[in-house]
C-alpha cells in the first residue's frame, strides 16, 4: 500500500518518467522556506545560484528540514522503497529576465550509480512556477532510453555546473510542461530528459531539487561519496554519512560541505569521458 502517491500517479511515473503536481505542504509553509532561503543568501552574502547552490542541506537547517520532509519522503518511498539516501540538494532560482536556462539533460549522467536507474528527483516549488517562469519541460517516456551521451556547453546562462546537454537523438515533439504552485512538487526519473526555459515573468522563480536513491545503490567511482540517510536503515554502507547542520552556515558545516562537493567533483571528472562524444 502506498503512503502518499495514488496508483495513477505511480503508473504515470513509470510510464512517462515523471509525475506532478504532488501536494506536500501549504503555501504558507512554502513561503516560510523561501524566506529562510533568502535569509541564508543574506548570511552568505551571495545568491544561491550556480557555483554556490549545491548541497545547502549541509549548511542550513531549513534545507535539511526540507530534505527530511515526511510527505516528500513518503512519495519517494512509494517509488524506491523505505531505505533512502539523499544524494544531493540543489537550489534552482531564476531571476525574471536574466536569461538563465537549463538545456535538455538527464540528471544522473555523472553520478556513477550502480544500478543507474533508481535515482528520483523531487523538485519542490517554493514560489509559483508557471510555464512562463521557466518550469520544467519533460520528454515523455524518455527514461526508457537509458543513459545517453552528453556534451558540455559553455554558457554563463546554463544553470548546470558543466552545461551538460544531451547530444544523442530523442523525440523533442512529445513533451509536457510541469507548472507548479508553491508547496507542490514534481518527481522525475534520473533518465527522463528535461529542460527549462528562461523566466519571462516579473518575479523570481525558486525551487529546490532533492535527489534520492535507495540505500543499496552503489557507486563505481574510485572515491566514496557522501549522502545523508534520511529514512530507514543502511546495511550496505556505499556512502559516507553526512552530518545534519547544528549551526547555520557554521565553520564545521562549511568545511564538510566543501569536502562533500570535492567528492562529487572527483566522481564527475572520472565519469565525464564515459558520456561525452563532443564538447561545444
Q: What is the per-residue pLDDT for 278?
A: 40
Q: Rounded to whole angstroms, how far apart are CA atoms 258 and 253?
A: 9
Whose CA is closest to 238, among 79, 57, 112, 108? 112
pLDDT tens digits along 181-226 = 999 999 999 999 999 999 999 999 999 999 999 999 999 999 999 9
Q: pLDDT band at 264, cuts 50/70/90?
A: very high
**pLDDT > 90 in the chain, percent:** 90
pLDDT band at 275 (very low <50, low <70, confident <90, very high): confident
Determine the Cα–Cα distance for residues 72 and 122; give it in Å rounded to an integer: 8
Q: Tell me the pLDDT of the chain averaged across its residues.
A: 95
- Mean pLDDT for 112-120 is 97
Confidence of residue 154 (pLDDT cuts 50, 70, 90): confident
At residue 279, does pLDDT exceed 80?
A: no
Instruction: For helices 70-80 and 7-16, give the axis angle rounded to 10 degrees.
Output: 60
Q: Cell triple for residue 198?
A: 528562461
pTM: 0.96
Of the pLDDT bands very low, low, confident and very high (cuts 50, 70, 90), residue 280 is very low
Nearest to 56 by CA among 146, 126, 132: 126
Question: Which one has a higher pLDDT value, 240 or 47?
Answer: 240
pLDDT in tens, 9-24: 999 999 999 999 999 9
Question: Which pLDDT tens digit goes with each residue over 59-99?
Answer: 999 999 999 999 999 999 999 999 999 999 999 999 999 99
Per DSSP, the three-state class of 196 is strand
Is the pLDDT at 231 greater than 50, yes or no? yes
Amino acid at each position: 500500500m502506498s503512503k502518499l502517491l495514488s496508483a495513477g500517479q505511480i503508473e504515470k511515473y513509470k510510464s512517462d518518467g515523471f509525475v506532478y503536481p504532488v501536494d506536500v505542504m501549504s503555501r504558507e509553509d512554502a513561503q516560510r522556506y523561501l524566506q529562510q532561503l533568502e535569509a541564508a543568501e543574506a548570511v552568505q552574502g551571495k545568491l544561491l545560484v550556480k557555483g554556490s547552490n549545491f548541497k545547502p542541506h549541509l549548511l542550513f537547517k531549513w534545507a535539511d528540514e526540507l530534505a527530511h520532509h515526511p510527505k516528500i519522503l513518503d512519495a519517494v518511498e512509494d517509488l524506491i522503497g523505505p531505505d533512502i539516501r539523499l544524494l544531493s540538494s540543489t537550489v534552482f532560482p531564476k531571476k525574471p529576465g536574466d536569461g538563465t536556462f537549463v538545456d535538455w539533460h538527464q540528471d544522473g549522467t555523472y553520478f556513477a550509480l550502480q544500478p543507474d536507474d533508481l535515482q528520483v528527483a523531487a523538485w519542490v516549488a517554493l514560489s509559483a512556477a508557471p510555464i512562463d517562469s521557466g518550469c520544467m519541460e519533460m520528454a515523455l517516456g524518455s527514461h526508457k532510453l537509458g543513459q545517453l551521451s552528453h556534451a558540455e556547453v559553455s554558457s554563463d546562462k546554463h544553470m548546470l555546473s558543466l552545461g551538460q546537454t544531451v547530444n544523442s537523438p530523442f523525440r523533442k515533439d512529445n513533451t509536457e510542461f510541469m507548472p507548479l504552485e508553491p508547496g507542490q512538487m514534481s518527481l522525475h526519473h534520473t533518465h527522463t530528459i528535461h529542460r527549462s526555459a528562461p523566466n519571462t515573468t516579473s518575479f523570481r522563480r525558486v525551487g529546490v531539487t532533492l535527489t534520492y536513491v535507495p540505500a543499496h545503490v552503489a557507486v563505481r567511482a574510485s572515491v566514496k561519496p557522501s549522502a545523508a540517510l534520511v529514512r530507514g536503515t543502511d546495511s550496505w554502507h556505499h556512502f559516507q554519512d553526512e552530518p545534519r547542520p547544528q549551526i547555520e552556515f557554521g565553520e564545521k558545516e562549511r568545511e564538510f560541505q566543501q569536502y562533500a562537493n570535492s567528492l562529487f567533483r572527483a566522481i564527475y571528472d572520472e565519469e565525464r569521458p564515459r558520456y561525452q562524444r563532443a564538447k561545444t
